[in-house]
Structure 1
Amino acid sequence: MSRRIKGLVEFEDDRGAVMRYIPHANGGGLVAPGARVHEDAWLDRTAYVEAGAVVGPGARVGAGSWVDVDVVLGPGVQIGSNVHLGARTRVGARARVGANARVGQRVSIEQGAIVEADGVVRDGAVVESAGRTRRAGYGQAA
């Protein structure tokens, strides 16, 4: 269930907790209190940015994507549609994450790196700018 009150959007989750979001001026995506989204960033109206997250200038977050708690997106980052970025993930400047990708927690995606569409990056992995991944692994969704 959701409702809108003077720019505030509230949702009740499955446990009955009320989650509050504020639409971002550029695209209308929903931003939790405690998140910081640069005014030049663009969030699709169906994208969510959770508390503690930081979205840098020129970053774009696609439809249905979820930027989880304490994620940091650098300048010019491109996030495709239906992407989940796990908690405490770091995405370097001008990196790209393709549509439907699933990125685990505490992942580091280096500056200019690319996670392909439908990619899966496990918790704690490092995605290098040449497309190589250290630790934990990277693959295609089944």
Structure 2
Amino acid sequence: MPRKSMREEFETDDGRVVRYVRHPHGGGFVSPKAKVAPDAWIAKSAYVEENAVVAPGARVGENSWIESGAIVEPEAIVGIAVHLGAGARIGARARVGRGARIGSEAILPAGVKLPADTIVAAGTKVSGRIAA
């Protein structure tokens, strides 16, 4: 039986070729220039872009997109179909609900629980706990 490739290439609308490797824990698409912990879980249809960081024990759900320079701290959970903008930061043990949109450079503190479909504007620093 042929072995499935762990490398993937796509051509963007502007003609650039982007390359990804499949993460061994979940099978998601990870840029070779991203830093993803071996025990993090990246869902099969999720993307982690270059210069992003996904820390140990973190989870990224199906159809989620972690843009360049974003950070997902230890044991944080990024739900299904979440968009984490460039340079955004999700604190340790935080929970981001399905369909949430986190703007570029936004910061969510450790332990925060963000409800589904929440929109956090670019540059926002969320303080305290948000009820889920």
Q: Is the 8 A contact 1:87 1:104 kept in 2?
A: yes
Map 1:44-123 onto structure 2 (within 5 A): 44-123=43-122
Contact 1:108–1:126 under 8 Å retained in 2: yes
1:25-36 paired onto structure 2 within 5 Å: 25-36=24-35
Letter in 2 for 1:127: V
Q: CA deviation at 1:115?
A: 1.5
| TM-score for both structures, normalised by structure 2 | 0.93
Larger strand percent: 1
**Counterparts of 1:10 and 1:130, CA distance in 2:** 39
* Paired letter, 2:58: A
Which runs of 5 or more residues in structure 1 are unaligned?
133-142
Give the residue type in structure 1 aligned to 2:42: L
What's the offset of the Cα at 1:13?
0.8
In structure 2, runs of 5+ residues without a counterpart are none
Given residue 47 of structure 1, which amino acid in structure 2 is its aligned partner? A
Deviant stretches of 4+, over 4 Å: none
CA distance in 2, matches of 1:8, 1:45: 13
Which AA in structure 2 matches 1:43? Answer: I
Distance 2:128 2:72 in 1: 15
Listed one character per residue, the Cα deviations across residues 61-119 of structure 1 (whole Å, up to 9, x for unaligned) are: 00000000001111100011100000000111000110001110000100001221000
**CA distance in structure 1 between the partners assigned to 2:110 and 2:30 by the alignment:** 24
Output the CA distance in 2 between the equivalents of 1:111 and 1:44: 22
Work out the number of aligned pairs and report it.
128
- Using the size of structure 1 for normalisation, the TM-score is 0.87
